[in-house]
Amino acid sequence: MSQRSCLSVILAAGEGTRMKSVMPKVLHAIAGLPMVAHVVKAAEAAGATGLALVIGHGAEEMRKAAQKFAPKAETFVQEVRLGTAHAVLAAREAISKGYDDILVMFGDTPLIDAGALAAARQKLAEGAAVAVIGFRPPNPTGYGRLIEKGGRLVAIREEKDCSEAEKKIGFCNAGMMAVAGKHALRLLDKVGNNNAKGEFYLTDIVEIAGAEGLDVVATEAGFENALGINNRAELAEAEGIWQARRRREAMLAGVTLIAPETVYFSHDTEIGADTIVEPNVWFGPGVKIATGATIHAFSHLTGATIGENSEVGPFARLRPGADLRKRAKVGNFCEVKQSTVEEGAKVNHLTYIGDARVGAGANIGAGTITCNYDGYSKFFTDIGEGAFIGSNSSLVAPVSIGKGGYIASGSVITESVPDDALAFGRARQKTLPGKGKELRERFASVAAARKKAAE
């Protein structure tokens, strides 16, 4: 089957009014990725060599989004919605290119598994003209039933048209199917609209193909594969299923999740074996974690790279461009953005590091901030290897701290510091004996006078 060409036609023209959103339904995200992009990924994993997106509502927005997750996809607009077969035929130009297999999928079924698609394609490779993907829901009420005889699929019967015996069938239509490319356009063109809604139904090709003596079969996928998203509640349900799958994959790959149900991955999270993730951690897009790291509780990471045996959190915020090298540490209530924390460096607590380099083995004291923004432009702070930055220091960029430099606590540093130098950037302390008591008494007197006046 690997030599067979395949076109995936993904129907994504629905308005999704039940989502209560101005955004096209299929652009709502699961694990940080539009649900239709999950469908695209499954199609590609199943061997699709071409992609055709059939769009309608929000067509321009859909095209722009598709440039990110499916830059090679062709887009076709279904101007008027006249049923699923009509939607597939909107991609007639792509279908006519002579692909061996045509996969018909839906943009609102983000949990479809590549294995289910590959199984349907395999049936085409074995000689079937049509392979319909079926599933067994806990309750089949409302679903079209797959009617089989002698190992062949003879019809897809909507529940309202089922006999009492057929209603007892638990094998239902998931909506997706694979069609042999050499038959696809002919079968689709034979679909009529002689029904109550006057629409062209894709399911009709089962009986059309059967009447031609072609082989039509059904394959079975898990219930989750067919889960369609129509509203926000179903979106959340799909997110939960996706996360559960990903957590299990991570744990089976050697990652320790202390409380799996509280950890949320992004669609592209990469996490190495022997990493420990404590409860309530959020991975946004673009996070890569090497082996042996520890991510402590309540940390939020996006666009960050974490080196081997590094430590993050608890309550740490790593923003895009954060790059922690081997054995680096970013501790509690710290934020790092667009900065490199080199091997063995420590940013322990209550600190902001932005647009900076923290050299290997450097120590950043509590309350330190890099002042990287003047309201108009960003500036860089370079902290050398082995430098020590005392607590509550402000490094006003652009500025550099040399190798082994030592910054006294409470300093505001506005000029670069040479290697191994000690820098103070604070006013000289002045102590006035007895003035503290005098000041308190004066403040108390003023407060009492105000209170009396108010009475």
Catalytic residue list: 349
Instruction: Retrieve residue 272's tokens.
Output: 């190495």
- Closest alpha carbon to 220 in 129, 116, 145: 116
Q: Among 230, 219, 35, 203, which residue's Cα sits nearest to residue 119? A: 219
Alpha carbon distance 114, 39 (integer Å): 9
Helix segments in 275-390, DSSP class H: none
> Could you tell me if 132 and 221 are in contact, meaning their C-beta atoms sit under 8 angstroms apart?
no
Tell how strand 130-135 and strand 172-180 pair up. Answer: antiparallel
Tokens of 80: 């008027």
Q: Is 305 helix (H, G, I), strand (E, B) or coil?
A: strand
Taking the C-alpha atoms of residue 384 and residue 357, their distance in angstroms, rounded to an integer, is: 8
**Per residue in 29-63, is it b (16+ CB within 10 Å) or e — as a string?**
bbbbbbbbbbbbbbbbebbbebbbbbbbbbbeebe
Q: In residues, how long is the chain?
A: 455
Residues 311 and 329: beta-carbon distance below 8 Å: yes
Residues 6+ apart with CB under 8 A from 102: 6, 7, 9, 95, 178, 179, 180, 181, 184
Neighbours of 427 (CB within 10 A): 8
Residue 228 has phi, psi (to 5 degrees) of -90, 150
Q: What 3-state class would DSSP assign to 436?
A: helix
SS3 assignment, position 8: strand
Two tokens, residue 97: 């290119």
Distances (CA, A) of 59 to 26, 27, 355: 12, 11, 38
DSSP state of 373: B
Identity of the amino acid at 272 = G
Helix and strand numbers (H, E) in the chain are 10, 35
> Is-contact 102 95, C-beta < 8 A?
yes
